Amino acid sequence: MSNILIIGAGLAGLVAGWQAAASSTRRVRILSKGWGATHWHSGCIDVLGYYPLSNEQPVEVPLERLRLLIANEPHHPYALTGLEKIAEALTALQTLCQAAAYPLHGSLEQNWLIPTAAGALRPTCLAPQTMSAGDGRSTAPMLIVGFADTVDFYPHLIAANLTQQGIPAQGLLLEMPALQARHFNYPMTLARLMEQSDFRAEMVQRLKKQLAASPALDKAERLGFPAVLGLDNAAAIHQELEEKLGRRVFEIPGLPPSVAGIRLHHILLKAIRQAGGEVYDGLEVVRAECADDRLMQVVTENAGRPRPHRADQFVLATGGILGGGIVTDYAGRGREVVFNLPITLPHSRLDWFKQDFLDPGGHPIYQSGIRVNHIFQPVNGENQPIYPNLYAAGTTLAHAEAIRERSFEGIALTTGYTVGQLVISNYLAQGGNRGQPH
């Protein structure tokens, strides 16, 4: 029996679990089918990158545009959390990461412009220290360094695009014997190699040789690498590289799996466990059972038999269509998989998509999700909470185009944060202090 049971271990579920566990002595448990989008995303916290969506220019001051968004879109998850909670959540995550020796820099006062593995500049609110030197608002010349015998990172493409956007940049492919000898060189293997000091020493030595041999390359004031500079010791590794190479070093996010995202995932897991929370993956929640309109337990599909998990309060953070919390079928039907909650969905499958993949307004289907009230309780058509002890957080919430807005991590973080606190305070207010502390 848990007091608080959270379904989903993406950014929203983890943050909710962390907040709930940290702010009380109640028993908090997270159940998840697998890990979430932390393994795919950039490793930054995007809060608002483009708004209004038709505007091609990136948002410079997220705070200003958030005000506009909240005024325009009262149902948007950010309108439900409110500006204060957004700021608070960002600060809380920064504090946590700072303590984990992996600082995240930034604030709602300005967006970074972080180079991507395609050579575009992505507006983002919080960037890890390992990325911030790449900021595209500075025009200090760059050298983009990739590795031969890998397939995910193309320094010359990145450099050409950056140059085109006014940041002088060159590309270089480093040959590393350790990579030549291996068959698979995917981001995680690179990150693990980077954790080894002899690999780094060899890389520094080879890179220095190249820099010394070419005045053109040597002009670079900052060095960009794929975002694989270590896994759990990234900030230290980053600092060591800056010292040894004598220039600023930055990471560039690219194709999944996302090493930088996994770092955040690790930090959150640790925080939850330290606060007494529990996280279980490999448990797919398939249905729920209730009594007197109150949720009593959820059921996971396990090897051999279904297993019930009782709790007082439930938080749904299963990530919508991308996370698998909402499934759709050929007939144009959609379903929330655990509680069978009503979801918003365009009327006909014909209205799900726009003709252009990159349509700035996004495809209507992806705005479908769960409607909640001001305290994040899923509601029915009459705006009444469906269960008194159920909350929802993250990108499963309706009324946002998180990818077009570049608010993907921001929505997960801020709603997870808000709900993690709300669920505890409401629980205590409902007499939850009678529940047994662990």
Shortest distance (Å) from residue 194 CB to another protein: 18
Is 54 a residue that touches another protein (CB under 8 A)?
A: no
Which DSSP helix (H) or strand (E) runs through 21? helix 11-22
Q: Does 188 bind another protein (CB under 8 A)?
A: no
Among 360, 364, 375, 387, binds another protein (CB under 8 A): 360
Token pair 């801020």 is at which residue? 414
Cβ distance to another protein smaller for residue 364 or 385: 364
Q: Quick check: 121 and 128 in contact, CB under 8 A?
A: no
Q: How many helices (H) and strands (E) does the chain have?
A: 15, 17
Q: Answer yes or no whether residue 178 interacts with another protein by CB under 8 A.
A: no
| Total residues binding another protein (CB under 8 A) | 59
8 is written with which tokens? 């989903």
Structure tokens at 279: 């996280």
Q: Would you count residue 344 as binding another protein (CB under 8 A)?
A: no
User: Which x/- pattern, by CB under 8 A, does the window 117-146 give for another protein?
Assistant: xxxxxx------------------------
Residues 279-318 that bind another protein (CB under 8 A): none
| Site for another protein contains 192 (CB under 8 A) | no
**DSSP track, 100-168:** TT--EE-BTTB-EEEE-TTS-EEEESBEEHHHHTT-TTS---EEEEEETT-SS--HHHHHHHHHHTT--
Q: Is 82 in the site for another protein (CB under 8 A)?
A: no
Q: Is the dihedral of CA 197, 202, 203, 204 positive or negative?
A: positive
Cα separation of 192 and 429, whole Å? 47
* Least gap, CB of 113 to another protein (angstroms): 10
Binding mask 55-74 for another protein (x = CB under 8 A): -x-x----------------
State in angstroms the smallest separation of the CB of 7 from another protein. Answer: 17
Smallest distance from another protein to CB 118, Å: 4
Provide the angle, in degrees to the nearest 10, between the axes of the packed helices 83-99 and 11-22.
Answer: 80
Shortest gap between Cβ of 156 and another protein (angstroms)?
5
Contact 66, 48 (CB under 8 A): yes
Contact assessment for residue 259 and residue 227, using Cβ atoms and an 8 Å cutoff = yes
Rg (alpha carbons) of the chain, rounded to whole number = 23
> Residues 39, 265: contact at Cβ < 8 Å?
yes
For another protein, the closer of residues 121 and 249 by Cβ is: 121
The contact pattern for another protein, residues 213-252, with x = CB under 8 A and - = no contact, is ----------------------------------------
Give the separation between CA 353 and CA 147, rounded to whole angstroms: 38
Q: Give 17 or 171: the residue with its C-beta nearer to another protein.
A: 171
In the complex, the smallest distance separating the C-beta of residue 8 from another protein, rounded to whole angstroms, is: 15
Q: Which residues pair with 110 in a beta bridge?
A: 107
Distance between CA 42 and CA 64 in Å, rounded?
24
- 367 is a contact residue toward another protein (CB under 8 A): no
Angle between helices 83-99 and 408-429 (to 10 degrees): 100
Q: How far is the CB of 14 from another protein (least distance, A)?
A: 18
Site for another protein in 102-121 (CB under 8 A): 116-121
User: How far is the C-alpha of 81 from the C-alpha of 421, rounded, in Å?
Assistant: 12
**Does 421 engage in binding with another protein (CB under 8 A)?**
no
Quote the tokens at residue 364. 């209507």
Choose one: 64-72, 86-94, 343-351, 419-427; the region binding another protein (CB under 8 A): 343-351
CB of 255 to another protein, least distance (A): 6
- Residue 309 CB, nearest approach to another protein (Å): 25
Q: Which is nearer to another protein, 152 or 281 (CB)?
A: 152
Q: Are 399 and 73 in contact (CB under 8 A)?
A: yes
Chain residues that interact with another protein, rule: CB under 8 A: 37, 40-42, 46, 56, 58, 116-122, 149, 151-154, 156-157, 160-161, 163-165, 182-185, 253-256, 258, 321-322, 324, 327-330, 332, 348-350, 352-353, 355-358, 360, 365-366, 403-404, 406, 408
